[in-house]
């Protein structure tokens, strides 16, 4: 239950994630292979979205998309250096 609450709080901080994403990909502190992996994951999900629940079911269909986006952003924050987390006030 605690992990779900953490993900919901993370969703409300999504507006802070946009500048974080830019800084994540231009940061010299992050290995190029890490940037490449996350870029490929983002591009592949946009190109071939895997829907557990079809989007035509309105709210329920969007839940799986949000869940995958939150999971991917959480992994990016966890792999980011502490200086980048502090800059954007994103903590584990």
User: Would the CA dihedral through 22, 27, 30, 35 be positive or negative?
Assistant: positive
Q: Tell me what pLDDT residue 48 has.
A: 75
pLDDT by position in tens, the chain (length 92): 666 676 667 667 677 678 888 999 999 999 999 999 999 988 887 777 666 666 666 676 677 777 777 888 889 988 999 888 888 876 55
* Residue closest to 71 by CA, chosen among 33, 35, 38, 31: 38
pLDDT score recorded for residue 16: 67
What pLDDT is recorded for position 54?
66
**What does residue 45 show for φ and ψ, rounded to 5 degrees?**
-70, -35
**pLDDT (0 to 100) of residue 23:** 92
Is pTM beyond 0.95 here?
no
């Amino acid at each position: 239950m605690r992990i779900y609450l953490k993900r919901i709080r993370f969703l409300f901080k999504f507006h802070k994630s946009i500048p974080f994403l830019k800084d994540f990909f231009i940061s010299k502190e992050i290995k190029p292979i890490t940037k490449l992996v996350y870029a490929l994951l983002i591009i592949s999900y946009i190109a071939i979205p895997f829907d557990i629940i079809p989007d035509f079911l309105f709210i329920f269909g969007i839940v799986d998309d949000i869940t995958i986006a939150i999971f991917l952003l959480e992994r990016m924050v966890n792999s980011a250096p502490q200086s980048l987390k502090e800059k954007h006030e994103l903590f584990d």
